Amino acid sequence: MSSKSQDVESLLGQKYRHGFVTDIESDSLPPGLDEDVVAAISRKKNEPQFLLDWRLKAYRHWLTMQEPTWAQVHYKPIDYQDISYYSAPRAPANAPKSLEEVDPKLLATYAKLGIPLHERARLAGVAVDAVFDSVSVATTFKDKLAKAGVIFCSFSDAVRDYPRLVESYLGTVVPAGDNYFAALNSAVFSDGSFVYVPPGVRCPMELSTYFRINAAKTGQFERTLIIAAEGASVSYLEGCTAPMRDENQLHAAVVELVALDNARIKYSTVQNWYPGDENGLGGIYNFVTKRGECRGRNSKISWTQVETGSAITWKYPSCVLKGENSVGEFYSVAVANNYQQADTGTKMIHIGRNTRSTIVSKGISAGHAENTYRGLVKILPSASGARNFTQCDSLLMGPKCAAHTFPYMEVKNPTATVEHEASTSKIGEDQLFYCLQRGISAEDAVNMIVSGFCKVVFKELPMEFAVEAQNLLSVSLEGAVG
């Protein structure tokens, strides 16, 4: 390992040690979970009765469920009574007032990742009202969306302003009792994003959580609902390439997508939560339920994800292909370094006729990490002519990491076509030496080899995101070889 990469590694680790200590303010609930807590959350947010009922139903169901243990991840039992389920968004008193007060090393990392200036401020925890840039950008943005008739707001605002839309779609893709973490989320979710694109409208810009005003601190139980009406299309970007600070260890988000006839939803994620230190201590547990339903004919839902963060990732963005000729896609790059554990993949449920799905999964493991692909392709008897193509490739860097692939297939219609390809390769000493012998530095060589490996996924990302993702990958894997 070169001294340069050591610098960056220590720098990457360091920014978390300087985490912000937030005072417990009055506007938060004490740790613990029962029906009163669920009701209190709903009351604090002035929610209508239907939502309270829905939350309570989810909570009661959750009580009957067991935490899943089938994933290839290991962690100490979580004490759900030791978590505070509500705290109002707040600006910590000791947050830096401007970028000048932020640790220069942290800023150097952002610079290395190519994060725009205004975004750096937000990530570093600079008080939001000091970030003029982002506010003005976001305002321009809102005007443009309003003209197109696109609703893009926080989940709480949607509950207040569009309760009927929320009521008719919430939980229709991921039911409240879908799984342990989804049920928990349904009971206690704090906030999230809501998008509605009306019929025939092509959303005029990429929607990004970053541009949503008040997006900061949506908390550990985030809920997103995106609806593309007939003939509508939208591209949604979640997350950020920069490492995000968060004091909450458990994250259990739910994302629901609904695509009606001829609608298209493209959902791109770059996830870079704190992965824990180089010994595997700390780090976010990311237990996410993401599912899209191609409800209408000829609809299409495409998931693209670049997962580099979190100590544990448990995440299977899925597509339910109900509408005839509908299309589901899943493109994924999952990186696990040091002691990270990633168990991720997708489910493609083919219900409608001539439905098609494509799965491309690229797993990269380094250090002592475990990286698992888990995928299900299910073709129901009704799905005549359904087709699936799955490709899972794993790249191992170093001798102590591991990659696992669990592809499940259930084909109940004889006219369906299912193809699966899988490979595991090592970042070859040979490949590395070949590049070195051409005068290319080890760092550049590893970047080149890894991005070559991920190319098919990166090209699915919106352009700017793709560049950031590539930078992120090189920072995440710095020092992993050589």
Partner 1 sequence: MLLKISDLHARVAGKDILRGVNLEVRAGEVHAIMGPNGSGKSTLAQVLAGREDYEITGGTVTFEGRDLLALPAEQRARAGLFLGFQYPVEIPGVNNVYLLKAALNAKRKAAGEPEVDAYEFLTLIRQKMKFMQMSESFLTRGVNEGFSGGEKKRNEVLQMLVLEPKLAILDETDSGLDIDALKVVSAGVNSLRDPARAVVLVTHYQRLLDYIVPDQVHVLSQGRILKSGDKSLALELEARGYDGVLGQVA
Is residue 114 helix, strand or coil? Answer: coil
> What are the residues whose beta carbons fall under 8 Å from the beta carbon of 219, sequence distance 6 or more?
87, 190, 191, 248
Helices 442-458 and 429-437: crossing angle in degrees, nearest 10, is 120
CB 313 within 8 Å of CB 307: yes
Please provide the DSSP assignment of 211-255 as one string.
Answer: GSTT-TT--SSEEEEEEE-TT-EEEEEEE-SSPBP-S--EE--EE
Instruction: Give Cα separations from 169 to 187, 196, 422, 456 (angstroms).
Output: 16, 11, 37, 33
Q: Which one, 386 or 450, has the nearer CB to partner 1? A: 450
User: Which tokens go with 227?
Assistant: 């609806």
Is residue 96 helix, strand or coil? Answer: coil
Q: Which one, 135 or 422, has the nearer CB to partner 1? A: 422
Q: Which one, 43 or 426, has the nearer CB to partner 1? A: 426
Q: Does 433 bind partner 1 (CB under 8 A)?
A: yes
User: Which tokens go with 432?
Assistant: 């590395």
Name the segment binding partner 1 (CB under 8 A); options: 94-102, 141-149, 260-268, 440-448. 440-448
Q: Which one, 30 or 439, has the nearer CB to partner 1? A: 439
Q: Which of 6, 67, 455, 463 binds partner 1 (CB under 8 A)?
A: 455
Number of chain positions touching partner 1 (CB under 8 A): 23
Q: How far is the CB of 423 from partner 1 (least distance, A)?
A: 10
Helix, strand, coil percentages (3-state) for the chain, rounded to 5, are 30, 30, 40
Q: Does 453 bind partner 1 (CB under 8 A)?
A: yes
Q: How far is the CB of 19 from partner 1 (least distance, A)?
A: 37
Q: Which one, 93 or 422, has the nearer CB to partner 1? A: 422
Q: Which of 7, 13, 210, 116 is nearest to 471 (CA)?
A: 116
CB 458 within 8 Å of CB 291: no
Q: Does 431 bind partner 1 (CB under 8 A)?
A: yes
User: Which tokens go with 378?
Assistant: 């299910």
Q: Does 452 bind partner 1 (CB under 8 A)?
A: yes
Q: Which of 57, 440, 462, 467 binds partner 1 (CB under 8 A)?
A: 440
Q: Which helix (H) or strand (E) holds 198?
A: none
Q: Does 4 bind partner 1 (CB under 8 A)?
A: no
Name the segment binding partner 1 (CB under 8 A); options: 81-89, 250-258, 383-391, 432-440. 432-440
User: Residue 426 carries which side chain, given as an amino acid letter?
Assistant: K
Q: How far is the CB of 440 from partner 1 (least distance, A)?
A: 5
Q: Which one, 113 or 445, has the nearer CB to partner 1? A: 445
User: Residue 228 carries which side chain, given as an amino acid letter?
Assistant: A
Q: How far is the CB of 456 from partner 1 (least distance, A)?
A: 7
Q: Does 3 bind partner 1 (CB under 8 A)?
A: no
Q: How far is the CB of 391 from partner 1 (least distance, A)?
A: 12
Q: Which of 52, 151, 165, 442 binds partner 1 (CB under 8 A)?
A: 442
Q: Which of 73, 106, 250, 454 binds partner 1 (CB under 8 A)?
A: 454
Q: Does 331 bind partner 1 (CB under 8 A)?
A: no
Name the segment binding partner 1 (CB under 8 A); options: 60-68, 208-216, 260-268, 453-461. 453-461
Q: Does 381 bind partner 1 (CB under 8 A)?
A: no
User: Which tokens go with 309?
Assistant: 């963060």
Q: Does 428 bind partner 1 (CB under 8 A)?
A: yes
Q: Computed from CA positions of residues 244, 248, 249, 251, in that sequence, does the dihedral angle turn out positive or negative?
A: negative
Q: Does 399 bind partner 1 (CB under 8 A)?
A: no
Q: Which one, 121 or 333, has the nearer CB to partner 1? A: 333
Name the segment binding partner 1 (CB under 8 A); options: 214-222, 272-280, 308-316, 434-442. 434-442
Q: Which one, 141 or 453, has the nearer CB to partner 1? A: 453
Tell how many helices (H) and how many strands (E) occur in the chain. 12, 19
User: Which tokens go with 398?
Assistant: 């170093």
CB 33 within 8 Å of CB 91: no
Q: Which of 75, 456, 467, 471 binds partner 1 (CB under 8 A)?
A: 456
Length of the chain measured in residues: 482
Q: Which of 27, 101, 444, 464 binds partner 1 (CB under 8 A)?
A: 444
Q: How far apart (Å, rounded) are the C-alpha atoms in residues 456 and 360?
A: 8
What is the DSSP code (8-state) at residue 22? P
Binding stretches for partner 1 (CB under 8 A) = 428-431, 433-442, 444, 448-449, 451-456
